Amino acid sequence: MITERICGRILLCSASMLLALPTAVAQQPGGATQQQPNMPSQQSTSPSAGTMGPNAVTGNQQGMADQAFVKKALEGGTAEVQLGQLAQQKSQSEDVKQFGQKMVEDHTQLGDQMKPIAQQLGVKESKGPSKKDKQLMAKLEGLSGPQFDEAYIQAMVKDHKQDLKEFQNEAQNSQDPNVKQAAQQGAGVISQHLQMIQQIAQSHNVAVGGKSKTTASIR
């Protein structure tokens, strides 16, 4: 009888332990049920396609802007060289001739620096000045003396103001280190040219953006 009582107690204790075991496992902090909340955080670390799209488009647009800038800079530089040569031939003023000579020298150098960058970007070599610059040259070829000087000075002030803005803008926005450096150097040279031609305009009594006193008195 004693042996049966002892065995019965052992069986009761074993059953109690088996019943308590699942509850203890569920209450453990390292249980399997505690790992599921971490799943969403793993998915949030991967970038979505929506966040990558705008950056790719912006980079592509800037690349096209670099190409357009380089192409226009080469065309404009070619025009400045040819206009400078024309000033040396037709002007009767020494300061205008010297300015024309400087245009030939500086813009030839800038063009030589820009050509390797154009090849790198896949920009075709310029075949000559733009249509607008060709029209300006045709107009200047029909003038001489003070009339040529006035028209040339006014054109140079206007062109260099516009070119300076474009070079400064490109130097600030371009992400291509070669284009950025070329734009910075070009902006410095163009700024010097603008100061020179503005001084020449004052000495020749040419009102930039309007009629000069000489023209007004003739008319």
Those residues with Cβ within 8 angstroms of residue 185's Cβ, 6 or more apart along the chain or in another chain: 110, 113
- Give, as one character, the DSSP assignment of residue 29: T
| Residue 210 zone, left/alpha/beta (φ > 0; ψ -120 to 50; rest) | beta
**First CA to last CA distance, the chain:** 143
Instruction: State the Cα–Cα distance between residues 146 and 123, nearest whole angstrom.
Output: 39
Report whether pLDDT(191) > 50: yes
Of residues 45 and 90, the one with the higher pLDDT is 90
* Confidence at 209, pLDDT banded by 50, 70, 90: low
Whole-model pTM: value is 0.69
User: Shortest CA distance to 200 belongs to which of 101, 87, 99?
Assistant: 99
User: Which domains are delineated in the chain?
Assistant: 64-121+131-203 (1.20.1260.10)
Report whether pLDDT(219) > 90: no
Q: What is the pLDDT of residues 116-164, one digit of tens each?
A: 999 999 998 877 889 999 999 999 999 999 999 999 999 999 999 999 9
